[in-house]
Amino acid sequence: MKDQLQALADEAREAIAKAQTPQDLEAVRVSFLGRKAGRLKSIMASLGTVPAEERPAVGQLAQAVQREIEELLTAKAGQVSDAPPPEKKAKRAAARPAAEADRLDVTLPGRAPHVGARHPMLATMDELIAIFLGLGYKVAEGPEVENHYYAWQALNYPDEHPAMDEQMTFYLNNGLLLRSQTSTMQIRTMEVEPPPVAYIVPGRTYRRDRVDATHHHTFYQLEGFKVAKGITFGDLKGTLIAFARALFGEKMNVRLRPDFFPFTEPSAEFAVTCTLCWGEGCRTCSGSGWMEVGGCGVIDENVLRNVGYDPEEVSGFAFGFGIDRFAMLRHQIDDIRLLWNGDMRFLRQF
């Protein structure tokens, strides 16, 4: 019987070592120590067959075996309890740094979202557009890459005319060029729409200018033109004054001085009251009290003919100016390059 108990202990040790889950251990416990049908119980059932003088020793051995099995079960229980299989354990360990990083610390101050703002150039452009929409103009846009006809010829520039030199631009290999003025759109618009027309054309223009505080190779212009029966130079001046006052207030005035442009006759240079000194004369306006912003004039009859209009029937005026210039006046910006270099320290101020 002692041999049976020793064998039972060996088997139990092995079974407990193999057990992987709490369920396995419970099965081992029931099988070896179960009170009703446990194997230890069934061995002890035949204690009566053991000679009386050996019984205490056998009893002690049985108790020792039972205690050992119980201890082994308890020890093993600590290892298998809810422990995931080894490979899962490894995955969990690997996921831990990410989980730590993702953990939400509700005590941290919030992160304010960065709210953007419109670029001062485009905001100014929208302001100008709104004024002209109010005066009954429509908005047109057109190509920045142009050909010789729209850039010069249709605008009444004779071939080789030096007026083109004032607007040296970028030429592409195929004879096309980047437009140096939005006046090109006078032609493209009137070509496809009969009079009366009243349009503004905001858009990018290019010139091979040396970049400095007031010049940039890329800039924005706003062109405007109106053609109908009986339009005169007086309508032009009234329109420019209405525009300048809508933008800067009633103190504004407009000065027109003779100039030359191939596509207008007569032509004028267009200046507005200096918004820094209001006409007193200051450093910015070189003491004149005026700031030159663009050109204008009565549309040349040749231009009207080029787009199929009859100069005996209709007449019109046109004007064009740099939007950058107005953006700078509006926000007291002293260097045009700030409008183009994307410096966030500058842009965040708007």
Contact residues toward ligand DAH (CB under 6 A) are 181, 183, 223, 261, 264, 267, 294-297, 318-320
- Please tell me the distance from the alpha carbon of residue 234 to that of residue 297, in angstroms, as a whole number: 10
Cβ proximity to ligand DAH: between 32 and 206 the closer is: 206
**Three-class SS of the chain:** CHHHHHHHHHHHHHHHHHCCCHHHHHHHHHHHHCCCCCHHHHHHCCHHHCCCCCHHHHHHHHHHHHHHHHHHHHHHHHHHCCCCCHHHHHHHHHHHHHHHHHCCCCCCCCCCCCCCCCCHHHHHHHHHHHHHHHCCCEECCCCCEECHHHHCHHHCCCCCCHHHHHHCCCECCCCCEECCCCCHHHHHHHHHCCCCEEEEEEEEEECCCCCCCCCCCEEEEEEEEEEECCCCHHHHHHHHHHHHHHHHCCCCCEEEEEEEECCEEEEEEEEEECCCCCCCCCCCCCCCCEEEEEEEEEECHHHHHHCCCCCCCCEEEEEEEEHHHHHHHHHCCCCHHHHCCCCHHHHCCC
Strand pairing category for 264-273 and 290-299? antiparallel
Find the shortest distance in angstroms from Cβ 349 to ligand DAH.
Answer: 29
Q: Which is nearer to ligand DAH, 309 or 319 (CB)?
A: 319
Q: Which is closer to ligand DAH, CB of 66 or CB of 169?
A: 169
Closest CB to ligand DAH among 65 and 299? 299
118: CB partners within 8 A, 6+ apart: 126, 350
Least separation in angstroms between residue 109's CB and ligand DAH is 52
| Residue 143 one-letter amino acid | P
Nearest approach, Cβ of 225 to ligand DAH (angstroms)?
A: 6
The distance of closest approach from Cβ of residue 168 to ligand DAH in the complex, given in angstroms and rounded to an integer, is 12
Cα separation, 110 vs 135, whole angstroms: 47
Taking the complex as a whole, how short is the minimal distance between the CB of residue 203 and ligand DAH, in angstroms? 12
Q: Which is nearer to ligand DAH, 183 or 306 (CB)?
A: 183
Nearer to ligand DAH, 32 or 270 (CB): 270
- Nearest distance from C-beta of residue 207 to ligand DAH, angstroms: 9
The residue among 181 and 306 lying less far from ligand DAH, judged by its C-beta, is 181
For residue 118, the minimal CB distance to ligand DAH (Å) is 25
- Diameter of the chain measured on Cα atoms: 146
Measured from the CB atom, the residue of 9 and 240 that comes closer to ligand DAH is 240
Minimal distance, residue 258 CB to ligand DAH, in Å: 12
Pairing of β 197-206 and β 138-139: parallel
- How many whole angstroms separate alpha carbon 72 and alpha carbon 17? 9
Give 38 or 203: the residue with its C-beta nearer to ligand DAH: 203
Task: Give me the least distance between CB of 344 and ligand DAH, in Å please.
Answer: 31
